[in-house]
């Protein structure tokens, strides 16, 4: 299993989830969050597929997902995971513990969930008992295209400015099918009104695509 791209900035474990509370509720809204009127909540969710999963020699789509839920009228934040396309739960004791991950799609799901938890703690959207927010990271907008895209369409992601991204860099981004590579064509400081509108860049090209 590769090294995680996301740093566990607040040393979180699933045991901490029960101590997460809603901080600044005014920041809950689109496009960063989506609304679920069935359960009356704002939420962020994501997940990844293991397309080569097999049961009894028959292929099936094994999907691991996470949900960060801010219910109306409740102070607590709910964080949960599911597996096998929502048919089963998914539990682990520590982020990125290799013997608790079946395949890379589990790692990807944990990475994206932790990315958002870090982000929400930084910006006061959620609070954790006994933990003070750390200085928020400065973000840049990364413009780039996938090398395999014949039309070379340009897409936008957000990334931490501290990584010193430059035009021509090969980076790792996440898609519904897992990690993919992009070649950077432009980098600029992200304005506040762009916060949450773009998927994150998780790291540089390391190991996954290199032969």
- Residue 209: is its pLDDT beyond 70? no
In a domain, 211, yes or no: no
What gap in Å lies between CA 51 and CA 55, rounded to an integer?
12
Mean pLDDT confidence for 156-161: 79
In a domain, 183, yes or no: yes
Whole-number pLDDT of residue 50: 63
Q: How confident is the model at residue 196 (pLDDT cuts 50, 70, 90)?
A: low
- Residue 200: is its pLDDT beyond 80? no
Can you give the residue range of the structural domain that contains 46?
14-128
Burial of 73 (0-12, 13-18, 19+ CB in 10 A): exposed
In a domain, 5, yes or no: no
Closest by CA position to 131, among listed 118, 146, 147: 118
Q: Are 93 and 20 members of one domain?
A: yes
Q: What is the mean pLDDT of the chain?
A: 81
- Residue 175: is its pLDDT beyond 70? no
Q: How confident is the model at residue 205 (pLDDT cuts 50, 70, 90)?
A: very low
In a domain, 7, yes or no: no
Whole-number pLDDT of residue 135: 76
**Of 128, 156, 171, which closes a domain?**
128
Q: How confident is the model at residue 191 (pLDDT cuts 50, 70, 90)?
A: confident
In a domain, 9, yes or no: no
Q: Are 165 and 78 members of one domain?
A: no
Whole-number pLDDT of residue 181: 81
- Residue 63: is its pLDDT beyond 90? no
Q: Are 106 and 147 members of one domain?
A: no
Percent of the chain at pLDDT exceeding 90? 27
Domain count of the fold of the chain: 2
Q: Are 169 and 186 in contact (CB under 8 A)?
A: no
- Residue 6: is its pLDDT beyond 50? yes
The whole model's pTM is what?
A: 0.73
In a domain, 197, yes or no: yes
Q: Are 148 and 107 members of one domain?
A: no
């Amino acid at each position: 299993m590769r090294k995680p791209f996301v740093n566990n900035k607040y040393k979180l474990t699933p045991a901490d989830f029960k101590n997460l509370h809603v901080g600044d509720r005014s920041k809950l809204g689109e496009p960063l969050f989506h609304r679920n009127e069935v359960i009356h909540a704002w939420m962020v969710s994501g997940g990844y597929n293991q397309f080569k999963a097999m049961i009894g020699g028959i292929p099936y789509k094994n999907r691991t997902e996470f949900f960060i839920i801010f219910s109306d009228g409740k102070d607590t934040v709910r964080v949960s995971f599911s597996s096998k396309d929502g048919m089963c739960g998914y539990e682990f004791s520590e982020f990125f513990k290799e013997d608790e991950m079946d395949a890379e799609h589990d790692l990807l799901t944990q990475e994206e969930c932790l990315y958002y938890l870090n982000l929400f703690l930084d910006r006061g959207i959620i609070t954790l008992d006994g933990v003070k927010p750390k200085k928020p990271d400065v973000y840049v907008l990364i413009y780039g295209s996938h090398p395999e895209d014949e039309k070379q369409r340009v897409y936008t992601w957000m990334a931490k400015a501290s990584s010193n991204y430059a035009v021509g860099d090969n980076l790792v981004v996440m898609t519904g099918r897992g990690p993919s590579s992009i070649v950077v064509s432009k980098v600029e400081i992200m304005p506040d009104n762009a916060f949450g509108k773009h998927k994150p860049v998780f790291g540089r090209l390391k190991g996954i695509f290199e032969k």
